[in-house]
A and B are shown apart, each in its own frame.
Chain A
Amino acid sequence: MEKEREVFHSVLSTQSSALSADAIHLDQVSFTYADTATPALRGVSLQVRQEEMIVIIGASGAGKSTLVKCLNRVIPAFQTGQLSGEVRLFGRRLVHEKVGELAGTVGMVFQDFEAQLFATTVRDEIIFGMEQLGVEQAEMQRRLDEALAQVGLAGFEARDPTTLSGGQKQRLAIAALLALRPQVLVLDEPTTDLDPQGRQEIFALLGQMRAAGHTLVLVEHELAAAAAADQVVLLSGGEVIAAGPPDHILPQIETLERYGVRPRDVDRLFRALGVNGCPHDVEGAVEVLRTSFTWNLSKDERTSQQDTRQQPFVLSPLRLCSGQASTSSRQAPSKHETQPASLPPLLHLQSVSHIYPGDSPAVCDVTLSIAEGEFVALLGQNGSGKTTLAKHLSGLLAPTQGQVFLRGQELRQVPLHKLAQEVSYVFQNPDHQLFADTVEEEVAFGPRNIGLGTAEVEVRVHEALTAVGLGPLRKSDPFLLGRGERQRLAVAALLALRPRVLILDEPTTGLDYTEQQRMMDLLRRLHREGRTIIIITHVPWVAVEYAERALLMAQGQLLWDGPLRGLCGQADLCARASFRPPDITLLGLRFGRTPLSVDEFVAWTRGNAERSFIPSEAKS
């Protein structure tokens, strides 16, 4: 047996030179998890050639993770059930290999980078795997340096991984696998938990690895990386719905939407304008549009791209946060500060700074007001101070300097049971908030805490569960719900307190397109009913499609307080805070407009049709 395995490894290494064999070959693979009736995979067949990149897309529960876990026998080793069909790696059929034995062949990166890092230094993190596989000291040092250089973490050897940013952590997880020299690298939603900056880092790294000849299997629930792939596979209900090169799959807008994947802005635009092509990125799309149309923009139009009706509030980024609060020269006050003086704003931060002990300021001298009934998006990359700021608005943190007011009363003087009915904060991870045995118990917890009677508690539970659409599941165990349902349950648990303000930290993280829309439509409905909604988000289209006002944070400072459209037009400001507007907006900016949706872009081109462009087909 041992010998056979040794032979297997040597077979793998000799075969890697011959590009003829498929790296991965799945033949009619089906899998049903133990204790469930419906199969998670049904007769999946696919081939990945060496040095290819395949992107597997699909909604939550489509079977994406199940599929890739079959590649290194995590299924059925860790998650038991009925597995049938054939999995071949480099021509060799997998039968009873242990996961650890395949470590040098298939590397696997997961969404939750925290659960993949277990050392106290970057160096130890990377060495760990090599020690397990018996790599010699000199070779270990060489691979360590090489892996760090590859992911751009050279010089970080002695750093504690917990002090790294999300993107860096995920890159470290990848480096730890690269050091094992796997022939296939599987990445299961590696960018889901990252901010835009971190996502860019990972996508850039993927491009490099692809150029270096790695065989890559990428699982995503969105299409950002799909355009650069050799193959795209759309899964739903454990079955392959569509498979093929990206220019074949990405333009199938209806199919993608039906199976819970958000089509790219560019593909939707091209469809609406009747243009063919499947460019990799915004730059490619601009090229196609330039050659397909004659753009006849007047000088006037080029310059008047900005929404000048509102004077947003742009702060100088060079102020220092010192011991003495600088009540410094502030530019034009935002429109939100110019409401009638008789009514104090719902929430008001006055020169708020927050300094964690022994750290640089997380929030630095921020003054802002939020009026009843606003829908605000709090933007900025991880570590920019947006969560700290939001926690001040909900009284979870007290400022180290400055004051927070709720309807003119200082927040720290508002008793907890009253505060809970005014401002609610939904944490990013719903699992931090759920603990009861049933859905209804979970929702009833808050109302009971504030001392409501049984009858009233029942009314609140019913109301909150109906609002989030979980009424039929009220007797279920929260831990058995899907991620989207758990997220909505967390919202319901707070809605039961009937708060006037709901603050949500990344409400769409880990949700697929359908769940994201459902979550955001719920918030829109609550907003229309008169609640004030503040979301912290990394997802550009979520901010742009739903929120009215943007607060942009960078390095603890508020860089922008004003309408979203205005922000999207400020390219340098966006770049400074690593905020990337949606693709459609970036595309529009190249033509002198700031569209916030595909429809706006299309309407604009149609409105200017007679004088601004002639489709190239018509010319020829």
Chain B
Amino acid sequence: MPLFLYLDRQSFVHRRHPLVKVLALLLFFIAAFVMEHPLFILPLSAGIGVLVLLSGSAPTLYRLRILFLFIGIFTTLIWSFFYGRGARLTALPFLPVTQEGILFGLGMATKLSTFLATSALFLSTTRIEEFAYAFTLLGLPYRISFTLTLAFRLVPLFVEAAFTVIQAQRCRGLDIHRGHLLQRLRHYVLVLIPVFMGALRRADQMAIALEVRGFNSGRPRTSYQRAPWQMGDALALLAALGVTAIYLGLWRAGYGRINVAG
């Protein structure tokens, strides 16, 4: 079962320098963040959508479809009910549904979905080592970025171990999906114990394996240059900067907000 979102393709987006991807991710987040009105966020969402299609990352978005649906519906509903400002559309005393509230809810849903889609695009096109490399270039200590990569690398292994443990328990007559909530929780603990013990054993071995390969060698590190800087990188970064600048400009000029009547 593939747990990584990374998709091994050769698209324009994949080929970008990891630093450009990390910066673009942050810039697009800022651009989406400053807007409230859904109609102002949508062009950005559409742009991300085009990049998703161009980079062949659509399968990732499809895999996350439930999450998108969940975020879309719940955000819209919750903000519609609790926004509170503006003219009420219902007479319910505790649920002040307003037209502005609905609009704000839709804006929030679009914003969060755009965040999610941008992150998914990033993870589908950037290897763990690449973004750790980018973080190191941005000044994050190597040990922290390495720990981060290791965590990503280990999660799928633990999930795999968990599936094996579930099967092993099944052979002993335990169906973890049965029983009431408390029983199920207890069953999950029975699965987690072997997984956790296995993780500890593995961590122990891995620590040795890391040092055997020179981790903690006490010598100055070098960094393999994972991606040479290309013309396309400069263009992509400029484009991302441009988009964000436009968004910030609109925000400064007072666009993209939801005006509450009265």
Contact = CB atoms under 8 A, between A and B. Distances in A.
Interface string A420-435: 1100111101011111
Interface of B is mostly: helix
B170 interface: yes
Contacts of B225: 137
A121 B127 contact: yes
A135 B172 CA distance: 52
Given A420-B172, A425-B171, A435 B214 contact: no
Most chain A CB atoms below 10 A, which of B2, B171, B207, B225:
B171
Nearest to B220: A134
Interface stretch (B196-204, B231-239, B241-249): B196-204
Contact of A103 (B129, B150, B175, B214): B214
Given A124-B129, A494-B171, A118 B215 contact: no
Nearest to B209: A116
A81 to B, nearest CB: 15
Nearest to A434: B194
A307 interface: no
Interface stretch (B31-39, B111-119, B160-168): B160-168
A140 B171 contact: no
Contacts of B62: none
A396 B171 contact: yes
B209 to A, nearest CB: 4
A417 B209 contact: no
Q: How large is the interface on B (under 10, 10 to 19, 20 to 34, 35 or more residues)?
A: 35 or more
Contacts of B198: 431-432
A497 B173 CA distance: 9
A134 B222 contact: yes
Interface in A317-371: 358
B153 interface: yes
Contact of B206 (A74, A115, A432): A115
Contacts of A137: 222, 224-225
Most chain A CB atoms below 10 A, which of B2, B156, B222:
B222
Interface stretch (A39-47, A93-101, A466-474): A93-101
Nearest to A420: B173
B213 A180 contact: yes
Interface in A179-199: 180
A132 interface: yes
A555 B167 CA distance: 24
Interface string A47-72: 00000000000000000000000001
Interface stretch (A399-407, A442-450, A510-518): A442-450
B6 A120 contact: yes
A154 interface: no
B219 A449 contact: no
A78 B215 CA distance: 14
Nearest to B216: A100
A114 interface: yes
Given A78-B207, A99-B211, A120-B129, A130 B222 contact: yes
Contacts of B156: 162
A135 B223 CA distance: 9
Given A103-B213, A120-B129, A446-B173, A432 B161 contact: yes
A74 B172 contact: no
A177 interface: yes
A479 B197 contact: yes
Given A78-B207, A103-B211, A433 B165 contact: yes
B205 interface: yes
Contacts of B210: 118
A552 B193 CA distance: 35
B197 A396 contact: no
Interface residues of A, number: 69
A420 B171 contact: yes
A609 interface: no
B208 A74 contact: yes
B230 interface: no
Interface string B149-163: 110010011000100
Contact of A128 (B2, B213, B220): B213
Most chain A CB atoms below 10 A, which of B2, B190, B213, B222:
B213
A283 interface: no
A98 B218 contact: yes
Nearest to B169: A433
A172 interface: no
Most chain B CB atoms below 10 A, which of A132, A136, A421, A429:
A132
Given A100-B216, A493-B172, A432 B164 contact: yes
Given A100-B216, A432-B198, A132 B221 contact: yes
Nearest to B154: A118
B240 interface: no
A121 B156 CA distance: 15
A59 B125 CA distance: 48
Interface stretch (A104-112, A556-564, A577-585): A104-112
Contact of A74 (B127, B165, B212, B222): B212
Closest 4 CB pairs of A and B: A132-B214, A449-B173, A103-B214, A100-B216
25 contacts: A98-B218, A103-B212, A107-B212, A108-B208, A110-B205, A114-B202, A116-B205, A124-B127, A128-B213, A131-B223, A133-B217, A134-B221, A137-B222, A140-B222, A416-B173, A420-B172, A424-B171, A425-B171, A426-B171, A427-B167, A431-B201, A432-B168, A433-B165, A435-B190, A445-B174
Interface of A: 2, 5, 72, 74, 77-78, 98-101, 103-104, 106-108, 110, 112, 114-116, 118-121, 124, 127-137, 140, 158, 160, 162, 176-177, 180, 358, 391, 394, 396, 416-417, 420-421, 424-427, 429, 431-435, 445-446, 449-450, 479, 493-494, 497
